[in-house]
Amino acid sequence: MNRTLSPAFLLLALGALCFAVDDRQEPPLKYVLEINGKEHQLFVGKAVTIRGEFKDPTVLLKAASTRTFAYGDLTFRYPASFTWEAEIEAPNEKTWTLSGNDFKILYFVLPAPLTVDDYAAAMVGQIGNNKSRIHASERELGDRKYKGKRLAVDLAGTQLTMEIYAFPAKEGARLLVLQDSLGDDGKTSAEGARALKLLSETFRDTAKGSDSGVGGGR
């Protein structure tokens, strides 16, 4: 018996998942429906119309490989496998931590001014001068280049790096920290390379006034 999918095909009800409604909620995992090899993006809880007629179609539903971070005036995609942690102390004091096995993305919205140099110096104070070194760094995120600091750390034979960048804030500070556990060859981890590529390609700072000048520095 032949089965045909109509143009009005697909009203999804895949559970109680929904879009993020507050700063604590992890971004939703999106899905991709593959019909005869062609992919269609799905949004949980939203009706989708697939145009065309399909006779005995081959259908595959799979989870998207990325999630979209959209908090604190920053938007970017990151690996869906990363764990999520949000600490919301006040409307102007928030920390998000996205963690893989080797790579972490930390984003701070702070009520008081804090420069890249001050953050790096504070980390050196915690770790110790003999185990850490600070260098200038620059990274292209979205359509802009940001200047910051790169902290190289040696902890019990484990090589870590932390790149620190600042973004304009009406008050207080906004800092992005990219932490990577380097491979045995001293290079960026494979996980870090994938996450950084994704971050670079999808990053946007939507805060008012964020499009002027080169970000970061001090």
DSSP SS3 for 120:
helix
Both tokens assigned to 201: 């390609």
**End-to-end Cα spacing for the chain:** 69
Q: Give strand ranges (E) for 43-143.
A: 54-55, 59-63, 66-71, 74-79, 83-90, 93-99, 103-110, 132-141
Residues shown for the chain = 218
Give residue-wise pLDDT tens across range 24-53: 999 988 888 888 888 888 877 788 888 888
Residue 129 has pLDDT above 70, yes or no: yes
List of domains in the chain: 1-64 (no CATH), 67-216 (3.40.1000.10)
Q: Which residue has the higher pLDDT, 112 or 131?
A: 112
Pairwise CA distance, residues 57 & 51, whole Å: 13
Give residue-wise pLDDT tens across range 73-116: 999 999 999 999 999 999 999 999 999 999 999 999 999 999 99
Both tokens assigned to 98: 């996205």
Give residue-wise pLDDT tens across range 163-216: 999 999 999 999 999 999 998 888 999 999 999 999 999 999 999 766 644 445
What confidence tier does 140 reach under pLDDT thresholds 50, 70, 90?
very high
CA distances from 167 to 80, 160, 163, 207 (A): 25, 23, 14, 9
Residue 15 has pLDDT above 70, yes or no: no
Pairwise CA distance, residues 63 & 51, whole Å: 22
Q: What integer pLDDT is reported at residue 144 of this predicted model?
A: 95
